[in-house]
Amino acid sequence: MIDLPVIFTILMGASILAYVVLDGYDLGVAMLMPAADAPEQDVMVASIGPFWDANETWLVLGIGLLLVAFPAAHGVVLTALYLPVTAMLIGLMLRGVAFEFRVKAEGWHRELWNWLFWFGSFLAALAQGLMLGSYVTGFESGFGYFLFALVVAGGVCGGYVLLGASWLILRTEGRLQKKAVGWTRWGLLWVALGFVLVSLGTPLASDTVRDKWFDFPGTLALMLLPLASMAAWVWVWRLTGRLRKGMSAPEWGPFAGAVTIYVLAFGGLAYSLFPYVVMDRMTIWEAAAHPSSLKVVLAGALVVLPFILAYTAYSYRVFRGKATAKLYDH
């Protein structure tokens, strides 16, 4: 007997992971805009221009799978997160249209859209962090929980900056790339701080998470996750150190390392939550849709996903190499 809710949990988790990594780098690039000058900003936007739309589609798929597979949880989660969801959506709207407006507008309008591009991306990242922080604690309210959510939000923003900066190392050259190396190191420090605070805060904020992680001897095996994250962190730190001094190092390295850190953190999160879809209240089996509806979606997804992955890979191949601002002269 196939356990459909588990399969859909994996599918949903995979799309949300794809979303945070993919849209994470383009949100991160946008959040770095104020640190760059105007010509650099154009190159930065060009490095994410062909991808952001498809990246954001993973969010729609993730939320769509929540809606399809766990309809009972869908309403509970989204109504509990009503305000941060609204903030995120407004942020995503502003930054999404800013891609188009900032190249088509002129004069102070252009400046305004540049600013909205940054602001919208930052608002979306912050709201996503608040949503995660609130989700992990099962939507508990109170000042302490809000503080915890704020810390998580800070960590998420730092993570996106890290992804964005290391993406720029890969996709740009010259002075901008040098700057990106510096940004990556700031991102690393930020992520490290966030990691420590979230690791200390989560067991305090949630008994369920504490019990799962501090259950000897399983804890010892679990420690592999943070250890591997630390190894990836150190690797990126060393690579960027070499790049900063002008020594040879693979340019894809920092981005790969940043993605690794994200994937490991996500794995830890998934372990903390499973099998709850609404923390401490509703398991994936309780929330699952009728098997007949899950089966038809699964069949469709198995047929279509390989195509999506194939043409996504094709698109990344078409737009490989260093970005130039010329891209927007279409």
Partner 1 sequence: METSDVLLLARAQFGLNIGFHILFPSITIALAWFLVYFRVQYARTGEPSWLATYRLWTKIFALSFAMGVVSGVVMSFQFGTNWPGFMNSVGNVAGPLLAFEVLTAFFLEATFLGVMLFGMNRVPGWVHLTSTVLVAVGTTVSAFWILALNSWMQTPSGHGYDAGQLIATDWWRVIFNPSFPYRFTHMTIASGLTAAFIVVGLSAWRLLQPNDDPAARTTLRTGVIVAAILAPLQVLVGDLHGLNTLEHQPAKIAAVEAIWKTGRNVPLVLFAIPNEREQRNDYSIEIPNGASLILKHDAAAELKGVDAFTPDAPPVAPVFFAFRLMVGTGVLMLMLSWYGAWRTRKCALPSRWVLWLFAGFTFSGWVATVAGWIVTEIGRQPWLVTGLLRTAAAAGPIGGAQLGASFTGYMMTYGVMLVAYMVVLTHLAGRGSAPEATKSTPLETGAAA
Binding to partner 1, residues 165-184 (CB under 8 A): 174-175
89 binds partner 1 (CB under 8 A): yes
Window of 177-185, 251-259, 260-268, 310-318 that interacts with partner 1 by CB under 8 A: 310-318
301 binds partner 1 (CB under 8 A): yes
| Residue (of 37, 21, 24) closest to 179 by Cα position | 37
131 binds partner 1 (CB under 8 A): no
Task: Note whether 118 and 30 are within 8 A (CB).
Answer: yes
Given 24, 61, 232, 284, the residue binding partner 1 (CB under 8 A): 61
Contacts of partner 1 in 141-170 (CB under 8 A): none
Indicate the burial class of 133 (C-beta count within 10 angstroms; 0-12, 13-18, 19 or more): buried
Give the interface size with partner 1 as a residue count (CB under 8 A): 76
90 binds partner 1 (CB under 8 A): yes
22 binds partner 1 (CB under 8 A): no
Give every CB contact of residue 26 below 8 A, 6+ residues apart in sequence: 48, 51, 52, 55, 164, 167
Q: Which residue's structure tokens are 């939507």? A: 139
Indicate the burial class of 65 (C-beta count within 10 angstroms; 0-12, 13-18, 19 or more): buried
Smallest gap from residue 17 Cβ to partner 1 (A): 16
94 binds partner 1 (CB under 8 A): yes
42 binds partner 1 (CB under 8 A): yes
Of 123 and 239, CB closest to partner 1:
123
Radius of gyration of the chain (CA): 20
260 binds partner 1 (CB under 8 A): no
Please state at what angle helix 38-48 crosses helix 143-171, rounded to 10 degrees: 90
Given 77, 126, 132, 152, the residue binding partner 1 (CB under 8 A): 77
